[in-house]
Chain A
Amino acid sequence: MTALALMGLLPENASTTGSVNLDGENLLQKSEAEMCRVRGNKMAMIFQEPMTSLNPVHTVGRQIMEPLRLHKGLSKSSAMQEAIRLLDRVGIPNPAERVSNYPHQLSGGQRQRVMIALALSCSPDVLIADEPTTALDVTIQDQILELIQTLVQEEGMSLVLISHDLGVIAENTDNVIVMYGGTVVESGKTDHIFDQLTHPYTQGLFAAMPKVGMGRGKRLTTIPGTVPDLINLPSGCTFTDRCPLASDICAGNIPPVNQMEGSHLVTCHHLQQAVSARSKGLYE
Chain B
Amino acid sequence: MSVFLAKRFITLLATLIGASIVIFTVMEILPGDPALVILGVDATESSVAALTKELGLDRPPLERYFDWIGGLLQGELGNSYAYKVPVSELVQGALQITVPLAILSMILSVTIALVIGLYAAANHNKASDVTLMGVSQLGISVPNFWLAVLLILYFAVNLKWFPPGGFPGWDQGFWKCINALILPAVALATVQGAILARITRSSVLEVFREDFVRTARAKGLSQRATLWLHVLRNAMIPVITVMGLQFANLLAGTVVVENVFYLPGLGSTVLKAINNRDTIVVENVVLMLAAMVVITNFVVDILYAVIDPRLKAHDI
> Chain A: which residue is nearest B237 at the CB level?
A57
Stretch in B71-79, B129-137, B215-223, B258-266 with 4+ CB within 8 Å of A? B215-223
| A39 touching B214 in the complex, CB below 8 Å, given contacts A56-B310, A104-B309 | no
Question: Which residue from B217, B218, B220, B230 sits with its C-beta under 8 Å from A55?
Answer: B230
Chain A residues with Cβ below 8 Å from B154 are: none
Question: Which residue from B211, B219, B230, B313 sits with its C-beta under 8 Å from A39?
Answer: B219
Q: Hey, what's the 0/1 contact readout for B101-118 against A, CB within 8 Å counting as 1?
A: 000000000000000000
Is B215 in contact with A53, judged by CB distance below 8 angstroms? Answer: yes
Majority DSSP secondary structure for residues of B touching A: helix
> Chain B: which residue is nearest A43 at the CB level?
B218
Interface residues of B in 195-221 (CB under 8 A from A): 210-212, 214-221
Chain B residues with Cβ below 8 Å from A47 are: 211, 214-215, 218
Closest CB of chain B to A204's CB: distance in Å? 30
CB of B308 closer than 8 Å to a CB of A? yes
Question: Which residue from A32, A52, A53, A57 sits with its C-beta under 8 Å from B222?
Answer: A32
Question: Which residue from B218, B234, B309 sits with its C-beta under 8 Å from A45?
Answer: B218
Is B307 in contact with A7, judged by CB distance below 8 angstroms? Answer: no
Chain A residues with Cβ below 8 Å from B313 are: 102, 104-105
Chain B residues with Cβ below 8 Å from A41 are: 220
Closest CB of chain B to A44's CB: distance in Å? 7
> Chain A: which residue is nearest B211 at the CB level?
A52
| A118, B221: Cα distance in complex, Å | 13
CB of A22 closer than 8 Å to a CB of B? no
Chain A residues with Cβ below 8 Å from B212 are: 52-56
CB of B233 closer than 8 Å to a CB of A? yes
| A32, B307: Cα distance in complex, Å | 31
Closest CB of chain A to B172's CB: distance in Å? 46
| A56 touching B308 in the complex, CB below 8 Å, given contacts A47-B211, A105-B313 | yes
Closest CB of chain A to B309's CB: distance in Å? 5
CB of A37 closer than 8 Å to a CB of B? yes
Chain A residues with Cβ below 8 Å from B219 are: 39-40, 44, 66-67, 70, 118
Question: Which residue from B214, B220, B309, B310 sits with its C-beta under 8 Å from A67?
Answer: B220
Q: A45-B218, A47-B214, A57-B307 are in contact. List 10 more A-B contacts (CB 8 A).
A: A40-B218, A40-B219, A47-B211, A49-B211, A52-B211, A63-B215, A67-B220, A70-B219, A70-B221, A104-B310
